[in-house]
Structures are given as structure tokens and as C-alpha cells.
Amino acid sequence: MKKFALAAALLALAACGTTPGQRGGPRTDWRCDGGAAFSIRFQGTSAEVFAGGQLYNLPAAQSGSGSRYSNGSVEYWEHQGQATLNGARGGPYANCRRG
């Protein structure tokens, strides 16, 4: 039953055709140490991150400095032109710069 539910959810996502940059704000690409890369698009008070073949929806989170978005398991943090992404597939995403 779990496999069926997972397959149905994936099929529904595929039908939506959601990819970064398709709707909402402009997409920003990040290149990180070790060759890792991800994309992010901001939409209102949340961010859509595409990394490691997965799409993560991250609500805004409190930050002492910079911009931070987190869903509790995946966290994007940008400060002074650098970004990190923790908890996403395909990492590590460290010392990331736009590009």
C-alpha cells in the first residue's frame, strides 16, 4: 500500500510539471565546493530548492544574520554572498557561490 501511495504522489508531482524557474520568482543557481550544485527560487515567504534530483519547499526561518529557510530537515542559509544547504540529497553543499 505504501508503494502505491508513493507512486501516486510521484505521478501527481510529475503531472504538475514543477521545475525550478517555471513559476514564481527567478531561479538562482549555486555552485559549491567539490562540484555540487543546486538551484533556488523564492516565492513569498518560502523557497523552492532543487538539489540532488529532489524539490524541497522550505518556509522562512529565523536567522541571526543572512537569509535562512528550513523545513526542519533541510536548511538553506545565505550570508554575505555565500550559501550552504544542509540535509538535501547530493551534498555536501558548502561554500556555495552564485553561478
Enumerate the domain spans of the chain.
25-98
Per-residue pLDDT reduced to its tens digit, 7-63: 333 333 333 334 443 457 899 999 999 999 999 999 999 999 999 999 999 999 999
- Of residues 22 and 75, the one with the higher pLDDT is 75
Asked if residue 49 lies in contact with residue 37, where contact means CB atoms within 8 angstroms, the answer is no
More confident residue, 93 or 11: 93
CA-wise closest residue to 67 among 83, 58, 80, 78: 78
Distance CA 22, CA 41 (A): 9
CA dihedral 17, 20, 26, 30 (to 10 degrees): -170
Superfamily for 25-98?
C-type lysozyme inhibitor (2.40.128.200)
Residue 23, pLDDT score: 59
Q: What is the mean pLDDT of residues 71-94?
A: 97
Position 10 scores a pLDDT of: 36
